[in-house]
Amino acid sequence: MMFIYSTIMRQVGSDGADDFEECEIQEEDETEIEYNMSTEEGEQPIHQVQYTIKTIDKLVEVQAGMMMHIANLLNTNLDNALLLLYHFRWDSEKLIDAYLDSPEEILQKVIGKANTYYHRYKNHEQSAKLEKAVYAKAEQNMTKLQLEINLSWNEAQFLKHAVETIVKCRNTLKWTYAFAYYLKESNEKTLFEDNQENFEVATEQLSELLELPIEKENSAALRKMIIDKTVYVSQRQSVLLDHATQGLQDGIWLFDFDVYC
């Protein structure tokens, strides 16, 4: 291909006249590169990759076999084998190498984390069941408030509302630990767990208030404290749930539950 460039060169002669010279510059010939993707007859094109689509049942079967293999090899139970494989993205070779290098560190990092979240989940699940007994006690106190302290039926409903709030909040709390377990470490996760802790502390404080005996002398003050704390606990629940919901809508949560096989 030929390109013609007009090059202006100023030359100062003895007479001061300007001369303009037009020159031609020829670009070097381009070398055409031919990409030949053809293969011998019967061979697979190099840009294609062989793969196999596994059904869910087949994936479960393969993963169950891997769990049995790791459990027998490391002399542990299937639950621990599952957690270890999950942590190492179902890469059994990587898991075995890491475990042989530092077994105690791996167990503490993987199993310890799972146990922490699981125990908190179970604690709130169990506490929610026990709150039913607290509800029976609250009904007795509601009757006492009406008969001995002359509160109306509507005025005594704050106890029932407080117990119902605690049960709902404990159910929320237990699932927030399942949610947080599968979150990757990030600033957003730290903020979520800070809100979670504030919510949990407030819930426990409300539960403790309901355990206090109600007498005529302290009924007015205790009633106000329980009502105020019930409102606050509900607000903390909303803050935590709104954060989780908004994070899902904005795509800020980074989850750590991909299935590898």
**What does the H/E/C string look like for 179-245?**
HHHCECCCHHHHHHHHHHHHHHHHHHHHHHHHHCCCCCCCHHHHHHHHHHHHHHHHHHHHHHHHHHH
128/236 same-domain check: yes
Mean pLDDT value of segment 183-211 = 93
Q: How far is CA 169 from CA 143, 231, 236, in A?
A: 25, 12, 9
pLDDT band at 6 (very low <50, low <70, confident <90, very high): very low
Domain boundary among 101, 131, 165: 101
Domain membership of residue 74 as a residue range: 54-101
User: Is pLDDT of 67 > 70?
Assistant: yes
Mean pLDDT of 203-215: 90
Task: Tell me how many domains the chain contains.
Answer: 2
What DSSP element (H or E) covers 124?
helix 103-148
Residue 200, domain member (yes or no):
yes
Whether residues 82 and 144 share a domain: the answer is: no
Rg from Cα positions in the chain: 36
Q: Domain for residue 22, yes or no?
A: no
Average pLDDT over every residue of 13-38:
45
Distance CA(182)–CA(89), nearest Å, equals: 13
Q: Are residues 115 and 93 in the same domain?
A: no
In a domain, 7, yes or no: no
User: Tens digit of pLDDT for each residue in 93-127?
Assistant: 999 999 888 888 888 888 888 888 888 998 888 88
Dump the DSSP string for 137-162: HHHHHHHHHHHHS---TTTTHHHHHH
Query: Cα–Cα distance between 135 and 255 in angstroms, integer?
Result: 37
Query: For residue 77, is pLDDT > 80?
Result: yes
Determine the pLDDT at residue 209: 92
Instruction: Give yes or no: residues 131 and 80 share one domain.
Output: no
Q: Is residue 38 part of a domain?
A: no
**Is position 23 within any domain?**
no
Looking at the structure, tell me whether residues 62 and 122 fall in a common domain: no
Confidence category of residue 14, pLDDT binned at 50, 70, 90:
very low
- pLDDT band at residue 24 using 50, 70 and 90 as cut-offs: very low
Question: Could you tell me the CATH number of the domain that includes residue 219?
Answer: 1.20.120.1750
